[in-house]
Amino acid sequence: MLYDNSQLARVYLHAWQVTGNEFFRTVTEEILDYVMREMLDPQGGFYSTQDADSEGEEGKFFVWTPDEIREVLGEEGDAFMAAYGVTRHGNFEAKNILEFVGDMDQRPALAEGRRKLFEAREKRVHPGRDEKVLTSWNGLMLAAFAGAGRALDRDDYRIVAQHNADFLLHKLRRENGRLLRTWKDGEAKLNGYLEDYSYLIDGLLELYQTTFDPRWFVAARELAETMLEHFQAPDGGFLDTSDDHETLITRPRDLQDNATPSGNAMAVTALLKLAGFTNDMRYVELAHQALVQMQPMMSQYPLGFGQWLQALSYALSKPREIAIVGDPHAADTQALLSVVRSGYRPFQVLALGAPDGQPSAVPLLQDRGLVNGHAAAHVCRGLACQSPVVESEMLRTRLNSR
C-alpha cells in the first residue's frame, strides 16, 4: 500500500534523525527506492498498491528457498543466508522472506549477492498493481520524499517530489482550484475529499521547506483557503465532503485516525504549520478549537488518535518560525541552513529567501534582511521575535534552548 510505505519511510527517517543509527537510514532509503522503482508513474504520480500475490499464490514473487538462493549465489549462498535469516523451515509458509539479521558492517559485502538475487527475481511473474493515483495518498508520499530529500541530501528524492507535486497540481486540480480524487490513464475524476486537501497541503509545505520555491507554499495556502471555504463545519473542525458534494443522507465526519490519519487531524496539523508561515491567527484559532473538542477522545483513546496527538504536541510546543535571509548558495547561508536542518526538529517551520528587495510570497520572510551584509537567521515564536543571528553556533544554541 502506498500509504503504508509513505508513513513507514517518515517514521524511519525521523528515527535516524533522532538516533543517527544507520540502520534506520538504510530502511528509509530502501523503502523510497522501492517506491521509485515499482510504484512511480512516468508522469509523476504514485500508484496505489502492489499485489501480495502472483500466479494465484501469496508472496510467490518475494520469497525464497535455500536451494533457490544457492542456485543463484553458489558458494556465497551460505554466508548470505546466515545474514538474512534463511532456514530450510522458512518464516512464511515453508519459504523465506529475506530479513536482515546480521550486522550493518556486513551489508557492503552482501551487495553483490543482493544484486544477483534481484536480477533473478526480475525473471519471475511480477505481481499486479493498482495503477490509479489517489491525491490523498500521493500527498503522504510527497511529504516522505520531500522530507527525505532534505534530511538525507538526496537530489533524486527531491526531484521525484517536485515532479509529483507538479503532476498533482496540474492533473488533479481544476482551473477553479478544486481538487479531484483520482487519476488513471490520463483521466481525473471524482470530487476531492477533506483528506485530499489536507494531505496535499502538508506535502507541499514539506516540499517548500526542501526547495524554498515559493510556488509550493502559494499552492498550499490556496488549497487551505479552499478547504476552509468548502469543508469547514459550523461547530468547528471539518467535514469529510465539500459543501457542493453530491447529496448524501448526512455529510460524513471521520475523526479517528486509522491506517491513515483522519482528514480532520491532518487539516489541523497543516493549519498550525501555515500559521507559522503566515501569522494568520484564523488558522491558529480554527486549529485550537478543533483540538479542544478532541481532547477528551485523545486522552481516553490515544492509540486511535495518533495524528491528533501530533497536532496537539505541535501546538503545545510553541513552535519556532525561522526565516533565513541570504544568498541560497553562499557559504554563510548554507551554514545557518545546516544548523536548522540538523537532527530531529519537528516543532518548527523554515523559510529561506534571497535579499533581493522584492516582496516575498511567504509572509514569514517579509521585512527580514541581512545583518551587516551577512546572511541572517530570524527566529520567532508566535509574535515574539529574537534579534537575528549570523553565527551558526549561536543559532544552534538558540534552537536547542527551551
Strand-pair partners of 96? 64
pLDDT in tens, 210-240: 999 999 999 999 999 999 999 999 988 999 9
C-alpha cell at 344: 530531529
Contacts of 92 (CB under 8 A, 6+ apart): 59, 63
The pLDDT-based confidence of 251 (bands split at 50, 70, 90) is confident
- Check pLDDT > 90 for residue 357: no
| Mean pLDDT in residue range 78-99 | 96
2 residue type, one letter: L
In sequence order, the 6+-apart residues with CB closer than 8 A to the CB of 53 are: 59, 60, 127
Q: How high is the mean pLDDT of the chain?
A: 95
- Residue-wise pLDDT tens digits, 151-191: 999 999 999 999 999 999 999 999 999 999 999 999 999 99
Confidence at residue 303, expressed as pLDDT on a 0 to 100 scale: 95
pLDDT at residue 272 above 90?
yes
Give Rg (Cα) of the chain.
23
| pLDDT confidence bin for 401, thresholds 50/70/90 | confident
Q: Which domains does the chain have, with CATH numbers?
A: 2-41+49-130 (no CATH), 133-316 (1.50.10.20), 320-400 (3.40.30)
SS3 58: strand
Buried b (16+ CB within 10 A) or exposed e, 98-130: bebeeeeeeeeebeebeebbeeeeeeeeebeee
Quote the pLDDT of residue 358: 77
In tens, the pLDDT along 297-323 reads: 999 999 999 999 999 999 999 999 999
Q: Give the separation between CA 255 and CA 305, rounded to whole angstroms.
A: 8
Which of 11-15, 332-336, 367-371, 374-378 has the least mean pLDDT?
A: 367-371
For the segment 186-197, what is each residue's pLDDT rounded down to a tens digit? 999 999 999 999
Residue 200: pLDDT above 90?
Answer: yes
- pLDDT band of 383, cuts 50, 70, 90: confident
Residue 250 pLDDT > 80: no
The pLDDT assigned to 359 comes to 80
Q: In the chain, what is the greatest distance between 2 CA atoms, to the nearest angstrom? A: 70
**Dist. CA 275–CA 284, nearest whole Å:** 6
Alpha helices in 301-342 (DSSP H): 306-316, 331-341
**If you average pLDDT over residues 368-388, what whole number do you get?**
93
Residue 257 grid cell: 485516525
Q: What is the mean pLDDT of residues 49-54?
A: 94
Q: At what angle do helices 135-151 and 2-19 cross, to 10 degrees?
A: 20
- Which has the closest alpha carbon to 35: 143, 116, 125? 143
Query: What is the percent of the chain with per-residue pLDDT over 70, rounded to a whole number?
Result: 100
> Is the confidence at residue 126, as pLDDT, over 90?
yes
Residue 119: what pLDDT?
97
Name the nearest CA neighbour of 232 among 276, 282, 185, 301. 282
The pLDDT > 90 percentage for the chain reads 92
Concatenated DSSP letters of 214-280: HHHHHHHHHHHHHHHHHHB-TTSSB-SS-TTSPP-SS-----S--SS--HHHHHHHHHHHHHHHH--
| Residue 245 banded pLDDT, cuts 50, 70, 90 | confident
CA angle, 138 then 264 then 259, to 5°: 55
CA atoms 234, 239, 244, 250: torsion sign: negative
